[in-house]
Chain A
């Protein structure tokens, strides 16, 4: 899931803002945007994950690689690929530390679920641009955007969310991944096998 705020700026596109209502969207859900020079016209639709992270989400063929890359810049990401990697890492750590138990998967799932819910309830700062380039936009547009409340949107401390790039497919959702594992693991050894599988998934593309 990706939290999207209306009027947040589209990663890598300083002239584009989100037109879709604020909410939590599937990673690949299409989000409408407008050009600040023409705010009354919906200019197109990008995937929620692109709005949030930019072209980086299309650069990787392997969801594990994408998830790891997202976590580098957004440790609390609710992107499915990020959750996938985060859970894998946790389970792997338990396995290597000798603390892996048959209930570990349930616990990891619960923790991850809680993180997701927390992130949704307290959405992270979005890569929202509050200043408008007067050269590219013009004074009138700048005023218009301000009227729409962009200036009230939380300002990120840095621009590290505006990373660039591309993926082909991410796992469906965190819930689906965890559900698959917990519904089939009966023994500790089976759990360990599944952890290994989680950590080294087959190529996603």
Chain B
């Protein structure tokens, strides 16, 4: 057997795990393959960490409590039909781009349906119909009947942050977009909320509600939109909402308009530009035929605040703003409401004429039940109680922007152990494990515990609304890590069905299941390096999430975890991070695959595998700033590769594959640690697999001098040591002309004669399994019987 190597570089074509193809590199949901000019730019691994710096934007707002809306999550390819191109205009035949969900910003290539063949990509700028689209740049002239392929991959999140500046009568909301394909944040801008209560507010809870209204169809004449099957007034469409025509999918809308009046269930008017009041813009002048699809974006922002004048705190709703209100230079100022419902304004959703929900701890958003019902739960420190509001209900009696119409009820007080956190505390979710399995519940934290309250238990006046609680017990128990006694907030990662719990600056976070059996938490997460990652930081540093002795606020969306360090100054690192926490190896083979798979690697004639070697980033950064990446681990399989049915087997840290039988191909899977001290994703550049094929074993060399055709003796020099006991050897004699097998013997069976010499063939003794003695160690084999006048090929291999 000769040693052979097959290697794989992560530079080839890829496919998502959801569209498994064995001849491509397969990427889990949060795994990416990157390229670049330098060799170290070409790697695969968990998504790079994204970093934004709110205090370094032109409206410098210290941001906290991220709330993320997954606005565009598209992937895959579309190549049905053919096209003709004239400049930037693409005409399709047999195409249906709208129904397939092709987003604006997707890439299209011409001449093939296989993306591998495309050398020049063009960006889609508009999609007027199922058979026409336009490009951002000219593609020249391409004749009709040409094949094409659209790469739909476009993944944009909207990341909202609230204002952590010194308490004031106004609060600002800032917005970044995050592109999951390159882990880049882009600053969109800010809006200013003018609260109806003019004394100083401190934000305790912050949530964003984003919904798409697409019921019915429309036609448009001038600025008047007439609906068919619509119920805009009843469904409480707000002035200021963004509306687009031609699709129900906002990612396919190229030109947006803004609702400036709601006349009835079937009539609204629109303007072409967003304005602070939602009115007074330039009237639209459109002509769109009946039966046209449309989409209205309902974007509302909710704040739970405490106030310098206690009774001026409580719940506030801003509705409806649009993405385009977030202006880079200054921000749109949203007025305080007065007495009109459904205005673009800030409403005070009070629980009473004199508010008693004065010590808000956070704001938990429930699912939307209808266009007139969606509940939020505001925890209050009043030892402890919950105020329930329906922020979608009609606001019939509004005075100076204040209304009690949205208030549903409050529970009674029920004591908790530990001080309840007032940092965006409370999250409604359904976990699929533990005592809350399958039960929609409100989770919240005190300094020492995580509490659960089943939503069904949250009833008016109830003093037994809490379901159960989980005590903080660090992984390994309190003799391994001291308790923090500083739990700050909890978030749910639905992708891995786990709680993410942050602490108030004590240098750790947790990821864990919820249990009430005093089991320790599952994972410790993050360490405090005190690195603060300002843009002017040394270029040798590697941005990563470090607490810097500050609380962390957190949101999980589509697997990604967004973390904002809670501080008011750039000097302390008021940064926003996005990191692919669920790509951790604990969950990599879960319902959402987070592994990196090589393509099927050919190992033709392999009779034995030896080892796998992986080249990866052991550290990132330069000079004194190097930081370790999180580790990885390797799996292999040699069966069930084509259809992804085979089971992967873990390889130990030495890469040992010597126990693996030979196979025609092999595939490797790589899992990554992400829930670790640094949380810095590893990077795999390439890997290589060593195996032995069915030629002469690499430890032996055929010896002509000590072989004898006349005596029918076949000899080999023992050229390299095994480093231990020689494994069982196998000798096969083939008819060199016909390929037929003449003899097949092993060093254990010894049907023929096996001998060994350690003096260059001067003397021969019985064969033994001792390793190579010296450079004159030989073995020879004499078959029990072998015919005359045959040209023989002798093959020595391991069994």
Contacts and interface: CB of A to CB of B under 8 A. Distances in A.
B338 A42 contact: yes
Interface string A11-33: 01111100000000000111011
A14 B170 CA distance: 22
B330 A43 contact: no
Contact of B190 (A30, A47, A166, A169): A166
B329 A136 contact: no
B330 A169 contact: no
Contacts of B343: 43-44
Contacts of B165: 61, 168-169, 205
A54 B283 CA distance: 24
Interface in B137-168: 163, 165-168
Contacts, number: 135
Contacts of A47: 169-170, 194, 198
Interface in A148-179: 164-169
Contact of B279 (A15, A32, A166): A15
Contacts of A38: 279
Interface residues of B, number: 43
A112 interface: no
A54 B279 CA distance: 17
Interface of B is mostly: loop
B401 A45 contact: yes
Interface in B108-147: none
Contact of B166 (A45, A135, A205): A205
Interface in B269-287: 275-277, 279-283
Among A50, A137, A168, A205, the one with the most B-chain Cβ atoms within 10 Å of its Cβ is A168
A16 B338 CA distance: 15
Given A32-B338, A205-B165, A58 B333 contact: yes
B333 to A, nearest CB: 5
A171 B335 CA distance: 22
A44 B279 CA distance: 11
B82 to A, nearest CB: 45
Nearest to B277: A43
A199 interface: no
A204 interface: yes
A168 B330 contact: no
Interface in B163-210: 163, 165-170, 172, 190, 192, 194, 196, 198, 200
A37 interface: yes
Contact of B330 (A15, A35, A56, A205): A56
Interface in B641-686: none
B636 to A, nearest CB: 55
Contact of A43 (B166, B279, B283): B279
Nearest to B344: A44
Contact of B337 (A28, A29, A44): A44
B569 interface: yes
Among A28, A43, A165, the one with the most B-chain Cβ atoms within 10 Å of its Cβ is A43
B574 to A, nearest CB: 11
Contact of B331 (A32, A41, A135, A165): A165
A14 B339 contact: no
A35 B338 CA distance: 13
Interface residues of A, number: 40
B329 A43 contact: no
A124 interface: no
B335 A33 contact: yes
A91 interface: no
A184 interface: no
A15 B168 contact: no
Contact of A35 (B167, B170, B280): B280
A166 B331 contact: yes
A7 to B, nearest CB: 15
Nearest to B568: A205
A167 B331 CA distance: 11
Among A33, A47, A204, the one with the most B-chain Cβ atoms within 10 Å of its Cβ is A47
B454 interface: no
Contacts of A203: 166, 568-569
Interface string A84-122: 000000000000000000000000000000000000000
Contacts of B568: 61, 203, 205
B762 to A, nearest CB: 92
Contact of B59 (A28, A43, A166): A166
A55 interface: yes
Given A45-B338, A50-B194, A169 B280 contact: no
Contacts of A169: 165-168, 200
Contacts of B631: none
Interface string B325-353: 00001111101111110010100000000
B335 A166 contact: no
Contacts of A12: 276, 333
Contacts of A46: 194, 333, 335-336
B194 A36 contact: no
Interface string B303-326: 000000000000000000000000
Interface string A129-154: 00000011100000000000000000
B569 A58 contact: no
Given A164-B330, A166-B330, A169-B168, A136 B59 contact: no
Contacts of A35: 277, 279-280
Nearest to A42: B338
Contacts of B281: 15, 136
Interface in A34-84: 35-38, 41-47, 50, 54-56, 58-59, 61
Contacts of A15: 275, 277, 279-281
B439 interface: no
B333 A55 contact: yes
B721 interface: no
Given A44-B338, A136-B282, A205 B62 contact: yes
A30 to B, nearest CB: 6
Contacts of B170: 28, 47, 58, 166, 168
Contacts of B167: 169
Contacts of A167: 168
A165 B277 contact: no
B60 interface: yes
B280 A30 contact: no
B276 A45 contact: no
Nearest to A55: B330
Contact of B192 (A14, A55, A136): A55
A204 B172 contact: no
A116 to B, nearest CB: 21
A19 to B, nearest CB: 9
Contact of A36 (B62, B196, B200, B280): B280
Contacts of A36: 280
Given A47-B194, A55-B330, A169-B168, A37 B280 contact: yes
A168 B168 contact: yes
A81 to B, nearest CB: 12
Contacts of A32: 338
B338 A61 contact: no
Contacts of A16: 276-277, 280
A135 B273 CA distance: 13
Among A44, A136, A137, the one with the most B-chain Cβ atoms within 10 Å of its Cβ is A44
Contacts of B192: 55, 58, 166
B497 to A, nearest CB: 39
A16 B345 CA distance: 14
5 contacts: A15-B275, A44-B338, A61-B61, A165-B330, A167-B168
Given A61-B61, A204-B166, 11 more contacts: A28-B170, A30-B196, A38-B279, A43-B277, A43-B338, A45-B196, A45-B336, A55-B330, A203-B569, A205-B166, A205-B568
Interface of B: 59-62, 163, 165-170, 172, 190, 192, 194, 196, 198, 200, 275-277, 279-283, 329-333, 335-340, 343, 345, 400-401, 568-569
Closest 10 pairs (CB-CB, A-B):
A15-B280, A44-B335, A205-B165, A165-B330, A168-B165, A55-B330, A169-B168, A164-B330, A205-B166, A45-B336
